[in-house]
Amino acid sequence: MKRLPISGVSLVTPEGSPDGIKRALGKLGVGDVFDDAAIEKIHLKLATIIGRWFDEQSAKESSPVAKALLSAGKELIAAAKLLGGHETGFQSHVEIESTSYVKRTLASDRTFGSIEAAGQFLRKFRNDASRIGQACMEAYADLASEDGKGGRETLYYYDDFTSLLLEIASEAGVAPKNIKDRVTGQRSGWLFEAAQAFETFLYKGMRSPSSEACGKRLERSKRRLGATRQNPSERRGHLSM
């Protein structure tokens, strides 16, 4: 079935930090190739892949509980991000101005009385909202997994995941192999090992149920990616790498 294009992609924090990505790359033998900026970029791409998966699940979700959890999680995380305009790192103009207005409004309340007190309150709210939002997302992912989701129709996000791994392999100059021993049935190869390592940054409902399933997902995704390179229009609606 052809998927409808998705306009605007949510960002959902991966199940792991940039430091975790750095350690994973080190274990894969390519840690020295990527600096902190490159690792942040990989972390952001994982957030985009996860966000797309949640958006796709939301589009077909029928359970009111799952819908409520997903909606609450996305809104809490979005609020925490919007009000982080005064934190270190790259922030958009909208985030900076929104944070400034909210902080000044809070400071005008006698309960706070100062910009410093308002800032401390806002920082605590952001931390709490982010943690609760993540908990809602994790609870939703558990429900999605229990409902038996993750069938072939919902695995297009894995194409984006595979594409990211292939991009990492290309940057590091390693051969992205996914090998299956014909006698033992064991999977091996850099691409397979990378998928096993990086799936830990995905939410539960997105992960392969077994190592063999992981290997098969990689095979299917590589075939689809090869087809879309020949016909780029088929890639519409996927993550832009």
Q: What is the mean pLDDT of residues 153-158?
A: 74
Given a cut of 70, is residue 27 above it in pLDDT? yes
Tens digit of each residue's pLDDT (9 = 90 or more) over 106-129: 999 888 889 999 999 999 999 999
Phi/psi for 198 (5° steps) reads: -85, -20
Residue 233's pLDDT band (boundaries 50, 70, 90)? very low
Q: Which helix (H) or strand (E) holds 66?
A: helix 64-82
Q: What is the CA radius of gyration of the chain?
A: 20
Tens digit of each residue's pLDDT (9 = 90 or more) over 59-72: 666 678 888 888 89
Given a cut of 90, is residue 214 above it in pLDDT? yes
What does pLDDT average to over the chain?
A: 82
Neighbouring residues of 105: CB distance < 8 A, sequence distance ≥ 6: none
User: Reduced to 3 states, what is the DSSP secondary structure of residue 179?
Assistant: strand
For residue 199, give the nearest of 16, 23, 39 by alpha carbon: 16
Report the C-alpha gap between 78 and 24 in whole angstroms. Answer: 28
Q: With contact defined as beta carbons under 8 Å apart, do 225 and 241 qualify?
A: no
To the nearest 10°, the Cα dihedral for 65, 70, 72, 73? 140
User: Reduced to 3 states, what is the DSSP secondary structure of residue 36?
Assistant: helix
CA distances from 145 to 74, 129, 171, 212, 219 (A): 18, 24, 33, 18, 22
Report the C-alpha gap between 191 and 206 in whole angstroms. Answer: 18
Supply the pLDDT for residue 235: 46
Neighbouring residues of 241: CB distance < 8 A, sequence distance ≥ 6: 45, 160, 163, 164, 167
Specify the higher pLDDT residue, 158 or 7: 158
Report the C-alpha gap between 107 and 32 in whole angstroms. Answer: 46
pTM of the model: 0.66
Direct distance between the N- and C-terminal alpha carbons of the chain, in angstroms, rounded to an integer: 23
Quote the distance between the C-alpha of residue 172 and its chain's center: 22
User: Reduced to 3 states, what is the DSSP secondary structure of residue 180?
Assistant: strand
